[in-house]
Chain A
Amino acid sequence: MERDDLIVNDQYSMDAHHSEEAGKKIRKKIWIVTLILTVITAFEVALGVFFKRADTYTWESIKITFIILTLVKAAYIVMSFMHLGDERKNLRNIILVPYAIFAIYLIFIGLTEGIFTETIRGLFR
Chain B
Amino acid sequence: MSGEATKPVDKSILWGGGRSPFSVSYGKMMMWFFLVSDALTFSGLLVAYGLTRHAESEPWTIGEQAFNAFPGIDASLPLAYVAMMTFILIVSSVTMVLSVEAGHRNDHKGVAKWLGLTIIGGFFFLGSQAWEWNHFIHGGGGAFQVNEEMSVTGTDPDGEAMSLTLSTGDRVHFEHHYGNELYEVLHHNSGPATEASIHGSHDSGHGDAHGAEGELSAMTMDELGAPGTLIINKYVEDEMHVEGPEALKLWNSRVENSFVFGANMHENEYGPQSYANFFFFITGFHGFHVFSGVLINIIVFLMVIKGVFKRRGHYEMVEKVGLYWHFVDLVWVFVFTFFYLI
Do these two chains interact? yes
Question: Are A54's CB and B6's CB within 8 A?
Answer: no
Question: A3 vs B48: C-alpha distance in the bound complex, in angstroms?
Answer: 40
Query: A95 an interface residue at 8 Å Cβ cutoff?
Result: yes
CA distance A91 to B326 in the complex (A): 18
Contact A15:B78 (CB < 8 A) given known A44-B341, A67-B337: no
Find A13's partner among B23, B63, B97, B326 (CB 8 Å cutoff).
B23
Q: Does B8 contact A (CB under 8 A)?
A: yes
Please give the distance in Å from B170's CB to the nearest CB on chain A: 15
Q: Are A18 and B314 in contact (CB under 8 A)?
A: no
Q: Contact check, B105 vs A13: say whether CB atoms are below 8 A apart.
A: no
Distance in angstroms from A110 CB to nearest chain B CB is 4
Are B63's CB and A48's CB within 8 A? yes
Asked if B165 is an interface residue, CB under 8 A from chain A, the answer is no
A70 x B333 contact (CB < 8 A)? yes
Q: Which residue of B lies closest to A9 (CB)?
A: B8
Q: Counting CB contacts under 8 A, is B91 at the interface?
A: yes
Q: Which segment, of B49-57, B132-140, B223-231, faces chain A?
A: B49-57
B36–A95 touching, CB < 8 Å: yes
Q: Tell me the minimal C-beta distance from A19 to chain B in angstroms.
A: 7
CB B121 to nearest CB in A, in angstroms, measures: 13
Instruction: Count how many chain B residues have C-beta atoms less than 8 Å from C-beta atoms of the other chain.
Output: 80
Of B48, B55, B97, B104, the contact of A16 (CB 8 Å cutoff): B104
State how many angstroms separate the Cβ of A86 from the closest Cβ of chain B: 5
Say yes or no: A81 contacts B7, CB within 8 Å.
no
When distances are taken between beta carbons in the complex, the residues of chain B under 8 Å from A48 are: 63-64, 78-79, 340-341
Per-residue CB contact flags for chain B residues 26-67 toward chain A (1 = under 8 Å, else 0) read 001100100010011001100110111111110000111000
Bound together, the chains give a CA A63 to CA B285 distance in angstroms of: 25
Pair B83/A42 contact, Cβ less than 8 Å? yes
Which residues from chain B contact A4 at a C-beta distance below 8 Å?
22-23
A10-B9, A13-B2, A118-B56 known; A78-B50 Cβ under 8 A = no
Establish whether residues A114 and B51, one from each chain, have CB atoms under 8 Å apart when the complex forms: yes
- How many of chain A's residues touch chain B, expressed as a range? 35 or more
A26 contacts which of B1, B47, B57, B238 (Cβ < 8 Å)? B1
Please tell me if the beta carbons of A111 and B326 are within 8 angstroms of each other in the complex.
no
- Cβ–Cβ contact A16 & B9, under 8 A: no
Residues of B within 8 A of A88 (CB): 3, 22-24
Verify B50–A41 contact, CB threshold 8 A.
no
Asked whether A15 lies within 8 Å of B314 as measured between CB atoms, the reply is yes
Query: Which residue of B22, B91, B106, B323 is within 8 Å of A90 (Cβ)?
Result: B22
Q: Check A15–B86 contact: CB distance below 8 A.
A: no
B150: interface (CB < 8 Å): no
On chain A, the residues within 8 Å of B330 by CB distance are 74, 77-78, 82
Contact with B along A1-36 (1 / 0, CB 8 A): 000111101111111111110010011001101100
Least CB separation from B29: chain A residue: A91
Contact of A66 with B342 in the complex, beta carbons under 8 Å: yes
Indicate if the CB atoms of A73 and B326 lie closer than 8 Å. Answer: no
* A110 to B56 alpha-carbon distance, docked (Å): 13
In the complex, the answer to whether A82 meets B235 with C-beta atoms within 8 Å is no
B54 adjacent to A49 (CB under 8 Å): no
CA distance A98 to B96 in the complex (A): 27
Q: Which chain B residues have a beta carbon within 8 Å of chain A's beta carbons? A: 1-9, 13-14, 19-25, 28-29, 32, 36, 39-40, 43-44, 47-48, 50-57, 62-64, 78-80, 83, 86-87, 90-91, 93-94, 96-98, 100-102, 104-106, 235-239, 313-314, 316, 319, 322-323, 326-327, 329-330, 333-334, 336-337, 340-342
> What are 15 A-to-B residue pairs whose CB atoms are below 8 Å?
A5-B20, A12-B7, A12-B9, A12-B25, A15-B9, A16-B1, A16-B4, A42-B83, A54-B237, A74-B334, A77-B326, A111-B50, A114-B54, A114-B55, A118-B54
